[in-house]
Amino acid sequence: MAAGYAPAYPESSLDDPALAPVRTAIGHILKELHAELTQYVPELDPSTGHLGFAVPLHLRTSRGELHLMTTVTTFATAVDVTLSELKLEAFLPADQATAEALQLVGNASTGPASLDPADHV
């Protein structure tokens, strides 16, 4: 600005009324993830294992050991600096056995309770 160049995109505060739909979407995503994941994730010490490109989260459960990797979602095409800096983290299966175990839990009529949240690493 001092050199006479205006920013190409605005930078809004997250509490800006114009970003209300974004706050609602983020809140919705974080609420469904929190509700689901708190049932699965025991307190853990970091593992020394790795996938070659990432360190997976290992969980010992009633369905066997699960291996999860983290992903980060961004608003890649955002035209607001605040939105372009937001990151949402999620965990995905790191192997086929974990994917199958989680799919079974998702399809089970008893729901998430079929994966005992009291299990520990």
The answer to whether residue 81 is domain-embedded is: yes
Q: What is the pLDDT of residue 34?
A: 84
The answer to whether residue 110 is domain-embedded is: yes
The answer to whether residue 48 is domain-embedded is: yes
pLDDT per 10-residue tile (average), the chain, 121 residues: 83 91 92 81 58 77 88 88 90 90 77 48 38
* Phi and psi angles of residue 105, each rounded to the nearest 5 degrees, phi first: -60, -45
Domain of residue 95, residue span: 17-114
Distance CA 81, CA 9 (A): 7
pTM: 0.45
The answer to whether residue 6 is domain-embedded is: no
The answer to whether residue 95 is domain-embedded is: yes
The answer to whether residue 3 is domain-embedded is: no
Q: Domain count for the chain, please give it.
A: 1
